[in-house]
């Protein structure tokens, strides 16, 4: 009986170790501690990785479309990622907080999206891979009337898509 248990344990260990490689097309890549599942946040080529690790958004000061040092840091990483993953295009969404008129906030959102687009183009991303849209104050992340909420809504978000941009 002891021999059967040892054999079963050995076969089980062998089966588990065989699963760590991609011989059977299980969607895993790598070969050690850096393994990742395709499309997951640990896959450096995936939109999930872009959103969670690189960062898909930058924040702005009140009534500003100037990029902060923190925004430049995130956008530099976005540009590098986009240059390495040329099958993706992006729509850059400009947003504003609820203060001000609808028209003012649409224009401010457009300036914010353009600031991000221009930065990415200056870093080598092809202009035909980027498009901008302004939502002004129409798509808030937070709804309340205090600075904490306002600061989260003053943003530009880079939304990835596979393939060419359609007009």
CATH number at residue 85: 3.30.1330.60
**How many whole angstroms separate alpha carbon 96 and alpha carbon 100?**
9
Q: What is the mean pLDDT of residues 125-140?
A: 96
Residue 129 pLDDT greater than 80, yes or no: yes
Q: What's the pLDDT at 147? A: 85
Rounded mean pLDDT, 56-62: 97
- Average confidence (pLDDT) over 120-134: 98
Please report whether residue 62 resides in a domain. yes
Exposure string for 125-139, b = 16+ CB within 10 A, e = fewer: beeebbbbebbbbee
Q: What is the CA radius of gyration of the chain?
A: 22
Mean pLDDT of the region 29-58: 76
Mean residue pLDDT of the chain comes to 82
Residues contacting residue 101 through CB under 8 Å, at least 6 positions apart = none
Q: In this model, does residue 33 exceed pLDDT 60? A: no
Tell me how many domains the chain contains.
1
Q: What is the rounded average pLDDT of the residues 6-25? A: 44
Checking if the pLDDT of 92 tops 60, the result is yes
Comparing 22-26, 50-54, 95-99, 120-124, the range with the smallest average pLDDT is: 22-26
Domain hosting residue 41, numbered range: 2-162
Does any domain span residue 167? Answer: no
- Domain assignment of residue 119, yes or no: yes
């Amino acid at each position: 009986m002891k021999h059967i248990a040892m054999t079963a344990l050995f076969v089980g260990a062998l089966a588990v170790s065989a699963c760590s490689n991609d011989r059977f097309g299980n969607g895993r890549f790598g070969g050690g501690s850096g393994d990742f599942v395709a499309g997951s946040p640990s896959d450096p080529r995936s939109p999930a990785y872009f959103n969670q690790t690189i960062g898909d958004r930058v924040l702005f000061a009140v009534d500003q479309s100037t990029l902060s040092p923190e925004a430049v840091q995130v956008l530099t990483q976005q540009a590098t990622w986009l240059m390495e993953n040329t099958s993706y295009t992006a729509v850059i969404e400009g947003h504003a907080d609820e203060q001000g008129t609808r028209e003012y906030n649409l224009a401010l959102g457009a300036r914010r999206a353009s600031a991000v687009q221009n930065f990415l183009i200056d870093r080598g991303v092809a202009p035909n891979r980027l498009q901008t849209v302004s939502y002004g104050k129409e798509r808030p992340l937070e709804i309340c009337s205090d600075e904490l909420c306002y600061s989260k809504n003053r943003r530009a978000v880079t939304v990835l898509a596979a393939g060419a941009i359609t007009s």
